[in-house]
Structure 1
Amino acid sequence: MTAQSYQLQPFPDATGLPAIQISGTVARSANNQLTIDYKLEGAVNQIQLPSPNPEPLRRWELWETTCFELFIGCPETLNYWEFNFSPNGNWNAFALENYRKGIREESQIEQVNTIARNDSAGFQLETTIPLEPIVPADQSIELSITAVIETQEKNISFWATKHCSPEADFHQRNSFTIQL
């Protein structure tokens, strides 16, 4: 298993930021499963966290409120995938042909497994994604881990392992800095 830790940073000009930290680990197993763990610590009570959905659904526009995201690309290719994970368990996966072009729901990913915990230590979301339908096990991948955070006061901030643009833009391929 290959694993890496990460720490997200808010976009530099963010205002109304809550006193939180977002970190975690991402790991790729020998059976080509990707597991990503998001840990939100600090003033979690200031964050909009939708109530758990007992039967999580595939949904569009999850990024309009608090949403954890993952971008996956393969070296020297233009296409990439975007995954969105709501704290309530809803999710979606998209395939893109190039920078923000040709977006479509990725039909080869039929389900992700997500576990959410919210307790005195903070909020944690762990998601496992089957990579085999989209990326062979012997293919290296490049990742960008991101989050959209909405406060109770409706302030939105954008968090990423690396910001590479004068505007918050998670689709910049030079921000896919984690390699597995």
Structure 2
Amino acid sequence: MVLYDLIPHPQSSSPALAISVEAARTVEGTLVIRYVVNGDVDKILIPQPVRYASRHPDLWKNTCFEAFVSAGEGADYLEFNFAPSTAWDAFKFESYRVSGGSFPFPSPHFDVARPKGRLEVTVVLDMTETPEADARATWHLNLSAVMEAKEGTKSYWALAHAPGPPDFHNRDCFIATLPA
């Protein structure tokens, strides 16, 4: 697994946190992502667990983790949202913010842990039946997070930030690579 540190958007305010992400791609076509939040985790609004990992809309409006995946050099990409509750969603885009709509995707496997002062969310995605995740191409990723503080403010974290307001869809932020 490759380890990355997320950085807060300069216009964000948040409790004292550090967020790291590990990502790996298996030969079989599985994407494994592990988000680790350290620091004032008790000040973050964590959604209540859902009974079964299931799709839910608008997760990005609250505390959630995100992964944007593009195979090769094309303009199309996938977006995945993961809440610590195990709610999730997936979208495809034909190009920058041009929706290709929701698409069928198998429910990811979640492992969520909350040791003292820490939040850990590991997600395993089976990408084998997803044509947009070409198994022969290098995958370019933007790994990101939205942290909602209990007081109501939100902070936006990513591998990199383009100028202007937070924009996880900006291709300048897709700086992680996982070769075929």
Fold equivalence (TM over 0.5): yes
Partner of residue 120, structure 1: 116
Matched AA of 1:112: P
2:19 & 2:99 partners in 1: Cα distance?
Answer: 30
Work out the number of aligned pairs and report it: 176
Deviations 1:85-139 (A, max 9, x none): 00100001100111001241121x1211111111215110000011112223222
Secondary structure in structure 2 of the residue aligned to 1:174: helix
Partner of residue 130, structure 1: 126
Partner of residue 142, structure 1: 140
Shift of 1:75: 2.6
2:119 & 2:148 partners in 1: Cα distance?
Answer: 14
2:136 & 2:93 partners in 1: Cα distance?
Answer: 21
Shift of 1:164: 1.3
User: What runs of 5+ residues in structure 2 fail to find an aligned partner?
Assistant: none
Does structure 1 retain, via aligned residues, the 8 Å contact 2:53–2:107? no
User: What runs of 5+ residues in structure 1 fail to find an aligned partner?
Assistant: none
TM-score (ref. length: structure 2): 0.94
TM-score (ref. length: structure 1): 0.94
Shift of 1:171: 0.3
Does structure 1 retain, via aligned residues, the 8 Å contact 2:29–2:126? yes
Matched AA of 1:102: S
Secondary structure in structure 1 of the residue aligned to 2:172: helix
Partner of residue 44, structure 2: 47
Which of these residues, 93, 96, 100, is aligned with residue 99 of structure 1?
96
Over 3 Å off, 4+ runs: none
Secondary structure in structure 2 of the residue aligned to 1:45: helix
